[in-house]
Chain A
């Protein structure tokens, strides 16, 4: 469904992404992990073109993401993206946050968009918060609204860029459980996270990145018990301590 081929990116002289070749199948949950500065966030941001790439290609369902001919808005409307900092629109209520893009981009009517938003809100456990404003919500609640907002576009694939890293520890669980239920429903997901419990429990595959390259791509059992690459080995053993 999603295929990356020899993707390279530089920031000046710094080689941020090194020959990334990988793919994500439909319905698959891929967790991207690795030390800070390894290029995980850069990688996930290239997939909806928040970052450009210098060499290689990324295709989503056969369409070339970084082609100049590609309508970037149409492309992005098919890729759900969840940010570390939630990025809800503070001047809009929760329900308005969720309805904005479906109405303006997909051309849905207000009632249609609101019905869908209401069902998404109850799905993330926030049915009673529709008229609240983002700053009235806790971090965990805001992130769940952000997930609902992304889902409202009915994207075939969801990208998560460290969705729990900005949360208080006690709020991580509520966000992860929403993500788990999404995974269970067969959503194609790519997830940059430091939550190794989530990776182990939910993911179909783990990509381990360091210095801009994917060093290892394996199923979670293999990755956590018997990683091949020496760098992954030391990463795993550091996790245990």
Chain B
């Protein structure tokens, strides 16, 4: 086990960089971070379209979401990697194909998480804000999103963790991210599949667990700052008595 780690750690972490292309865990993290940074704003935008007062926006975004959610991710990867170059006549690098597909795919799921969070707020919040003369945009920005994004943190986190794990599908178009690197190591060792893939699983787990812990920490900090928890309320009540 340790022998496998010792000889292959570097390759698993950064691929053959700096003598060759960057890969392994580093590439997985880059894909995840870029994916997250692009998919979240796109998902938010889609969600706002899904609840928009204009039918055109609702319909177009709805179709996009249903198509994305109705097709397996592997299919989409194949399409963007093999079909897009056919249609456009330009080659697409495996990395770009993977990133773009992940972003589109995840944004559809994020969209539905965010939309559900918006729909779950009492209608009165929207009405109260509009009744004060606030515009639709101001209401969304200052009243609806701050509440709903906070409420949906756990579900958003689930999607983000899903995104990290979904990067492993880059394997099928030979993006040398973590899973692909592990497979390469396995191919060269031939006799140690258990150790290699156990190590692979462990690495994914550590990354996803850190992400979860990080978001939970963030959640606690926000709730301490703005919305008093029940525990804090009890303290307030106790001191009032």
Contacts and interface: CB of A to CB of B under 8 A. Distances in A.
| Pairing of A with B | yes
Interface of A: 48, 50, 73-79, 81, 83, 85, 87-91, 100-101, 104-105, 133, 135-136, 146, 149-150, 153
A90 B227 contact: yes
B150 A91 contact: yes
A153 B132 contact: yes
Interface stretch (B29-37, B60-68, B121-129): B121-129
Interface string B104-124: 000000000000000000101
23 contacts: A50-B131, A73-B133, A76-B130, A76-B131, A76-B132, A79-B131, A81-B128, A81-B131, A83-B128, A87-B125, A88-B128, A89-B128, A91-B150, A91-B226, A101-B133, A101-B134, A104-B142, A133-B226, A136-B233, A136-B236, A146-B128, A150-B131, A150-B132
A73 B124 contact: no
Most buried by B among A50, A79, A104, A133: A104
A102 to B, nearest CB: 9
Given A90-B147, A133-B228, A105 B132 contact: yes
A136 B228 contact: yes
A5 B226 CA distance: 46
Contacts of B128: 81, 83, 87-89, 146
Most buried by A among B122, B129, B131, B233: B131
Contacts of A153: 132-133
A213 B131 CA distance: 25
B210 interface: no
Range, interface on chain B: 20 to 34
Contacts of B132: 76-77, 100-101, 105, 149-150, 153
User: Majority SS of interface residues in chain B?
Assistant: helix
A105 B136 CA distance: 12
Contacts of A50: 127, 130-131
Nearest to A132: B236
Contacts of A88: 128
B134 A87 contact: no
A79 to B, nearest CB: 7
A77 B133 contact: yes
Contacts of A79: 131
A211 B154 CA distance: 46
Contacts of B70: none
A105 B228 contact: no
A76 B134 CA distance: 8
Contacts of B147: 89-91
Interface of B: 122, 124-125, 127-135, 138, 142-143, 146-147, 150, 226-228, 233, 236
Given A74-B133, A87-B124, A105-B132, 14 more contacts: A73-B135, A75-B133, A76-B132, A79-B131, A85-B122, A100-B142, A104-B134, A104-B142, A105-B133, A105-B134, A105-B138, A133-B226, A136-B236, A153-B132
B162 to A, nearest CB: 27
B137 to A, nearest CB: 10
B54 to A, nearest CB: 16
Contacts of A133: 226-228
A153 B132 CA distance: 7
Contact of B233 (A87, A101, A135): A135
A139 to B, nearest CB: 14
A48 B138 contact: no
Contacts of B150: 91
Nearest to A76: B133
A50 B130 CA distance: 9
A150 B131 CA distance: 9
For the complex of A and B, list the 4 residue pairs with the smallest distance between their C-beta atoms, beginning with the closest.
A77-B133, A87-B128, A101-B132, A87-B124
A85 B124 contact: yes
B146 to A, nearest CB: 5
Contacts of A89: 125, 128-129, 143, 147
Contacts of A146: 128
A78 B227 CA distance: 30
Contacts of B134: 73, 100-101, 104-105
B110 to A, nearest CB: 21
